Structure 1
Amino acid sequence: MPLTAANSAREILTGLHQLMARRGSAQAKLDLTVDLIAEAMGSEVCSIYLLREQSLELFATHGLNKEAVHVTRLSPGQGLVGTIAAEGRILNLAEASTHPAFAYRPETGEDRFHSFAGVPIIFRERSVGVLAVQHADPRAYAEVEIEALQTVAMVLSELIAGARLTDGTARRGGQREGMVRLAGLKLVSGMARGTAVFHEPRVVVEQTVADDPELERSRVISAFAKMRTQIENMTREAEFGTAGEHQEILETYKMFAYDEGWVRRINLAIDSGLTAEAAIERVQQRTRARMLEIDDPILKERMHDLEDLSNRLMRIVSGRMGTAAQTGLPSDSVLIAKSLGPAELLEYDRRRLKAVVLEEGSLTAHVTIVARAMGVPVIGRVKDIGHTAAEGDTVLVDGNQGSLVVRPTRAVTSAFETRMAMGQKRRAEFAAIRSLPPISKDGVRATLMVNAGLAEDAGALDATGADGIGLFRTEFQFLVSAALPGRDAQYRLYRQVLEAAGDRPVVFRTVDIGGDKALPYLADATDEAENPAMGWRALRLSLDRSTLMKAQARALIEAAEGRVLRVMFPMISEPWEYEEARTLFEAQIEWVKARRPGPARVEFGAMLEVPSLAEMLDQLLPRINFLSIGTNDLTQFLFAADRADPRLAERYDWLSPAILRFLRRVAREAAAAGVPVRVCGEMGGRPLEAMALMGIGIHNFSITPAAIGPVKAMIRSLDVGAVRGKLEALLAKPPRDMRKALTDWAKRHSVALD
């Protein structure tokens, strides 16, 4: 294309501006529009497809057969055009027919054209059509051509929406009557009843074409300055403290606010003739399109932060700061949003905010981490909540189950409030035994420790009366950082955790990244694998990247000065992997001690997650101080059943005789060697499963803080000798339903399972 993207887009926008000002039908204007675009881009074909009556209709074309206009129709997802509309992504193909979604429509006469490029026409975050160009010669379109198409598509959306040519684009309120139950992803636990409040971060762009580019540029510069001041103030004023992973998130967020590349892209969009608002939206659409091409969840989360900042910048430049955070909240607000950035969440009054419901979201999302620090329940991945709920609806949020009810009936509300009251009563009962030890009726002392991943999680020790931290997931610091955390940053975190724990033990698991926990700054080491859970992750990756492991080792050793350092290595398949990791750590211990005081003592442990390690325990046990069993991964490896696949849920049962026999054998071998065994994972946090573990000889658990109370209550009501005898009988001749058999036994013996 002989012109730059900005020049080409400006030429088209100028023509479009004149077209929109004319009198005439929308059809006539779009007919002239495709001619204009084709001429400006030197394109043989330019076509506009619009979403009408749930199908994409060829509405105007230059170069295809005119008889096909209003005749050719494609369903969303059908053909190249349907794929673009359904997925909101760009297609740029040198040979269109080779794409798996290609659908030939003979009435269009497109068989003589080979290359194809198409972009979605977006209105209020929804695809309402597709703008496409084609050439006879097979060639990929240049990036500048795609940029120009996207800019033009954005302006077209204004014309199309104004003429009401497409299906309705209302974002919510489609279903306002009757109770609706929805399911999502558990992100932050807790229960809440409240009033639906929409976050409303989006500003609708009402004018796209600018009269004075310099004026638009100055508006953007002023908005950036104001936004950066807001972010700086927010970082300083975060209510829940200045230390921990959430603070690193805010620092990463601030880094985006000062990204000059982002500023430059917005200015280029203004150069093409767009207003400040349209330019921000244009760059934002490009970011969303790129997000669709990214599989890495951590990198996607960085993109969500940029989306959040774009929304903030848009509100500033348009003078519309009226998000729910600024307009006043009901005292029982349940905030609803498609996605939410950490800074936006911090704007809300935590005393009035009862819960958050997101259409998107993930366990490692920055907003999830901040919400956890604020103590706000969150459910994510609630499909189309924006269309199901309406402002002011009553919403019941169960973050413990990952479910919610919109517009509940009186009976459902009453039952929910009863559950909340029971939960509060149970928490009061657990608080009453917080200072009591987990000793069974026949005098067996169990050890209840918590799993942690944030510095703030150490506060759960006092809140629950736990014996210590049995699993500190060090990778969390890596997952929320924009770059590899340095040794000093790691040292500060580990030191903070140890000081918060006081005399109680803390077991640090070395970093478990890779697989489904990929890091953008280690992309070559964490490439997507076909089976990520069994791929290049955890200790396998750390031994390969010994510099990374040495830095972590030194940070842990220095942080534990004068204390006992407990380290365990994850994902060990064979004893030689443990030996290599321990040797590396011991070398770093000698290095540190030659320069400064080191730990009073170092204990090394291994995680049994890979079944093959159980066959080598006779070689491993003499070399370790403790053994931790990671039941989450171990069980899915034993059963070859992905725990995330709902179709295999019944095959992933911790009370399977196969699992219990396996664990009993491990416990007996470790006991004979004098090595303590601890179960880390969800299995130990469930009272019935924990009862079974006590029965096979495992008395040490590392579980979620919320599980400490229920499991302690179970242990204090249990006769371990009796359940041991029952388990021996059941495992010798397993019943068809082990879970039912154990539940019935527990009820008969008044074991506290509820």
Structure 2
Amino acid sequence: MTSGAVEAARTILTSLHEVMASRSNAQAKLNTVVEVIGESLDSEVCSIYLLREGMLELFATRGLAQEAVHVTRMAVGEGLVGTIADQTGTLNLAEAAAHPDFSYRPETGEDKFHSFAGVPIVRRERAVGVLCVQHVEPRRYEEVEIEALQTVAMVLSELIHNADLIDEENAGALGSAQIGPEQLRGLTLVKGLASGAAVYHQPRVTIEHVVAEDTEAERQRVILAFERMREQIDRMANQAEFGVGGEHEEVLETYRMFAYDEGWTRRINEAIDSGLTAEAAIERVQQRTRMRMRQIDDPLLADRMHDLEDLANRLLRIVSGQIGTAASMGLRNDAILIARNLGPAELLEYDKRRLKGVILEEGSLTSHVVIVARAMGIPVLGRVRGLRGVVREGDPLLLDADQGTALVRPSPGVVEAFDTRFARNRERQAVYAGLRDVHPTTRDGTRIKVMINAGLRDDVANLNLTGADGIGLFRTEFQFLVSATLPQREKQTRLYRDVMDAAGDRPVVFRTVDIGGDKTLPYLRHDDGEGEENPAMGWRALRVALERDALLKVQARALLEAAAGRPLNVMFPMVAEPWEFDAAKAVFEGQLAWLRGQKKVLPDAIRYGVMLEVPALAEQLDLLAPKISFLSIGTNDLTQFLFAADRSNPKLAERYDWLSPAILRFLRRVVRMLDGTGVDISVCGEMGGRRLEALALLGLGIRRMSITPAAIGPIKELVGKVDLAEITTAMEGWLASPPLDLRAEMSAWAAQRDIHVD
């Protein structure tokens, strides 16, 4: 903002402050406002249009025919005024009639006026009106005049709100009509359907006071807010909250650049000089940024502008004292949470009864929050860019994470169709719930063990809800991911004991902590793995635990103490060679010997097992089998390693197919190698929770599966329809001579036998 703009805005705001404080009615105030602005800018016409009942209505004017007031109305998107409201943008024209959206209104008497400039009057990111000026002489208005108009429009927004000239609820509806339904596309992170109102994790601050009483006091508030914000950004960088290396560091560097940008701070201070409060000044500069964003075609520059928008929101929250997230304020209705990104601890703060889904601007398949959301049964859509430009707080949303889409402000017909899908899903769930007490048994009488995956204390309740045979995988790392510091042994012991108490007689398989690589912890730094190019195959899981053996010793002691007087099942992840299993088991045996020496109560029995995720281990199963009691095939990592296809890369999604003959032949070989050894074999991962894939696993000889709780009912229902001898014979034929499309072939085979595999 130039010094001229500051002076012009200050002159107008000083006069407007007196107008707003007067006891005149709202119409009289607006009549005075257009006179003040017109005189200050030496403009022959100044008009105010307000959005009423879906139409922009001329509410006050200086220079146009007074008979047109409350008579001239136009739709959003119609004419120059409607275009400004529709795009929430600015127009500055030397010849108004030359613009393609120009709409002539004879009752206003505007024939002689050539130049035109207009700015939106914005309330909660919605255009609720338009302020415009006109002049006989064809000329473009100076930048100083446009900036003064934009500042004045902020003050008008407050006046209009306080005078109840627009209904706040109606404003929301008008905003919806303004933009209409819109579809967003993204990457499916957690499947599922959800509907609810949009709630921002970091809610926007509603600015109630625009005109400053004490300019210097407002300046000091901004200075202190900047200091605090910069401290936050520096602390985030130092604590590596966003992980190590790659684009996260670039994000932080961009944040730092904007946080210390002198131009940004100068523009905010100039807005304060013009007479705005600290909040209004930040919002004033932010509005200008948004208008620039709409004109940027370069996606990289647009991303940087989004970063500035995000940082401005942070500054606005600090200066207003409204720092809490939506979780701290509580969810009132069914909600779809909107965020740039989320941490697992932040997600757990929300009321699970109200939180129906999550949409992220960023996010990846392996991010911490996705792991927790999957455990909570909350659908998540990620990598949806530019959310703030499309979704407003409170907008109705339909989230279809199955298809990777979200519908914003859907039409009634779409809502009805979505509700029908929801109802069908509920009917299916009711059928599956009726199978809770049914033991899954094939048509030819073979009992199949179906267990759940878990990672949170609350997950154990799903045992009773689903009638599962136990917990085939308890991910102990969740406790580490949601904690700010390394969990103490006592806390670990308490969690493991609570889980076993709740499970009762049903078995629980505890996987030792799988951290490192993509699951970085701020309090667990390392040197060798710093900035790994491929963290999924790097310093993680058992590799971390064996190098940081104190971590594994603490966990071993906690598990052994928690299992006192009952059996303990321990599984080691990411084992590539038998010696790694030997080393991990030795840690447990060492802790067991210490507890025995202390006369502590020991577990009744300890069963050790491994996860088969690294293909190399399959070549040494004959050496490992005599040492283990069970083996669980982790299909998620195993598949990406076999295909050399990163499962978080959407371009490789089609190559990440569990029904590939290569995967199925590999699994069949593992089953055959362990046949007769006494080692229990199971599949642990998403593959076992999909009906068609589960059918294939049964045909390969798999008799135990550990899957997400939501899949227990569908898999139980599937098992009851399968003849093992028949599917085994069919699978042998398919793998001996694979068809071009095995998935289609299997689907047709299942359909002929009335086995639904969708």
Question: Shorter-chain TM-score category?
Answer: 0.5 to 0.7
1:567 paired with 2:562, answer: no
Counterpart of 1:615 in structure 2 is 619
Deviation at residue 592 of structure 1 after TM alignment: 1.5
Counterpart of 1:663 in structure 2 is 667
TM-score scaled by length of structure 1: 0.62
Deviations 1:241-267 (A, max 9, x none): xxxxxxxxxxxxxxxxxxxxxxxx9xx
Counterpart of 2:714 in structure 1 is 710
Cα 1:341/1:561, change in 2 over 3 Å: closer
Distance 1:559 1:473 in 2: 16
Deviation at residue 407 of structure 1 after TM alignment: 3.4
Deviation at residue 538 of structure 1 after TM alignment: 0.9
Counterpart of 2:522 in structure 1 is 520
Counterpart of 1:422 in structure 2 is 424
Counterpart of 1:135 in structure 2 is none
Deviations 1:470-528 (A, max 9, x none): 11111111112212112122112111211121111111111111111112222225522
Distance 1:407 1:24 in 2: 37
Counterpart of 1:492 in structure 2 is 494
Counterpart of 1:483 in structure 2 is 485
Distance 1:436 1:719 in 2: 17
What letter matches 1:521 in structure 2? Y
Secondary structure of the residue that 1:522 maps to in structure 2? coil
Q: 2:645 aligns with which of 621, 641, 647?
A: 641
Secondary structure of the residue that 1:672 maps to in structure 2? coil
Counterpart of 1:440 in structure 2 is 442
Deviation at residue 306 of structure 1 after TM alignment: 12
Cα 1:586/1:351, change in 2 over 3 Å: closer
Counterpart of 1:701 in structure 2 is 705
Q: Is the 8 A contact 1:219 1:276 kept in 2?
A: no
Distance 1:351 1:368 in 2: 18
Q: Is the 8 A contact 1:308 1:340 kept in 2?
A: no
1:603 paired with 2:611, answer: no
Counterpart of 2:546 in structure 1 is 543
Distance 2:577 2:696 in 1: 28
Q: 1:202 aligns with which of 204, 209, 214?
A: 204
Deviation at residue 183 of structure 1 after TM alignment: 2.6
Deviations 1:278-321 (A, max 9, x none): 79989xx9xxxxxxxxxxxxxxxxxxx99999776544379xx9
Q: Which moved more, 1:684-693 or 1:491-500?
A: 491-500
Secondary structure of the residue that 1:433 maps to in structure 2? coil
Deviation at residue 694 of structure 1 after TM alignment: 0.6
Cα 1:215/1:655, change in 2 over 3 Å: closer
CA RMSD in angstroms comes to 4.6
Distance 2:282 2:583 in 1: 52
Deviation at residue 196 of structure 1 after TM alignment: 4.3
Distance 1:211 1:735 in 2: 77
Deviation at residue 363 of structure 1 after TM alignment: 7.1
Deviation at residue 403 of structure 1 after TM alignment: 2.6
Q: Is the 8 A contact 1:562 1:597 kept in 2?
A: yes
Distance 1:173 1:340 in 2: 28
Distance 1:199 1:214 in 2: 28
Cα 1:431/1:563, change in 2 over 3 Å: same
Deviation at residue 646 of structure 1 after TM alignment: 2.3
Secondary structure of the residue that 2:397 maps to in structure 1? strand
Cα 1:505/1:513, change in 2 over 3 Å: same
1:405 paired with 2:392, answer: no
Deviation at residue 277 of structure 1 after TM alignment: 5.7
Distance 1:670 1:322 in 2: 51
What letter matches 2:397 in structure 1? V
Distance 2:180 2:192 in 1: 25
Secondary structure of the residue that 1:404 maps to in structure 2? strand
Distance 1:373 1:217 in 2: 42
Counterpart of 2:186 in structure 1 is 184
Counterpart of 2:559 in structure 1 is 556
Distance 1:552 1:306 in 2: 40
Secondary structure of the residue that 1:517 maps to in structure 2? coil
Deviation at residue 718 of structure 1 after TM alignment: 0.5
Deviation at residue 186 of structure 1 after TM alignment: 4.7
Deviation at residue 193 of structure 1 after TM alignment: 3.0
1:729 paired with 2:733, answer: yes
Counterpart of 1:211 in structure 2 is 216
Deviation at residue 561 of structure 1 after TM alignment: 1.0
Counterpart of 1:674 in structure 2 is 678
Distance 1:17 1:546 in 2: 62
**Structure 2: 5+ residue stretches without partners:** 12-121, 126-146, 154-171, 230-259, 287-309
1:631 paired with 2:631, answer: no
Secondary structure of the residue that 2:683 maps to in structure 1? strand
Counterpart of 2:474 in structure 1 is 472
Cα 1:520/1:693, change in 2 over 3 Å: same
Q: Is the 8 A contact 1:487 1:555 kept in 2?
A: yes
Secondary structure of the residue that 1:701 maps to in structure 2? strand
Cα 1:727/1:317, change in 2 over 3 Å: closer
Q: Is the 8 A contact 2:510 2:571 kept in 1?
A: yes
Secondary structure of the residue that 2:484 maps to in structure 1? coil
Distance 1:280 1:502 in 2: 60
Cα 1:174/1:665, change in 2 over 3 Å: same
Q: Is the 8 A contact 2:681 2:702 kept in 1?
A: yes
Counterpart of 2:581 in structure 1 is 578
Q: Could you say which structure has the larger radius of gyration?
A: 2
Distance 2:728 2:221 in 1: 76
Secondary structure of the residue that 1:507 maps to in structure 2? strand
Counterpart of 1:259 in structure 2 is none
Deviation at residue 179 of structure 1 after TM alignment: 3.7
Q: Is the 8 A contact 1:395 1:408 kept in 2?
A: yes
Q: Is the 8 A contact 2:330 2:351 kept in 1?
A: no
Secondary structure of the residue that 1:688 maps to in structure 2? helix
Q: Which moved more, 1:358-367 or 1:473-482?
A: 358-367
Q: Is the 8 A contact 1:198 1:324 kept in 2?
A: no
What letter matches 2:543 in structure 1? R
Q: Is the 8 A contact 1:210 1:216 kept in 2?
A: no
Distance 2:710 2:684 in 1: 14
Please show how residues 134-533 of structure 1 align to structure 2 within 5 Å: 162=151, 176-186=178-188, 190-196=192-198, 201-203=203-205, 211-212=216-217, 313-316=318-321, 331=333, 333-338=335-340, 354-360=356-362, 377-390=379-392, 393-524=395-526, 526-533=529-536
TM-score scaled by length of structure 2: 0.62
Deviation at residue 424 of structure 1 after TM alignment: 0.2
Secondary structure of the residue that 1:659 maps to in structure 2? helix
Cα 1:714/1:484, change in 2 over 3 Å: same
**Equivalenced residues, count:** 538
**Structure 1: 5+ residue stretches without partners:** 1-15, 27-122, 127-157, 165-170, 225-264, 286-304
Deviations 1:624-673 (A, max 9, x none): 00001111111111111222222222222111111111111111111221
Deviation at residue 323 of structure 1 after TM alignment: 7.7
Cα 1:473/1:276, change in 2 over 3 Å: farther
Deviations 1:370-403 (A, max 9, x none): 9789876554433222222356644212245543
Distance 1:350 1:689 in 2: 30
Q: Which moved more, 1:588-597 or 1:371-380?
A: 371-380
Distance 2:614 2:494 in 1: 32
Cα 1:178/1:560, change in 2 over 3 Å: same
Secondary structure of the residue that 1:706 maps to in structure 2? helix
Distance 2:222 2:650 in 1: 51
Distance 1:327 1:477 in 2: 24
Deviation at residue 564 of structure 1 after TM alignment: 0.9
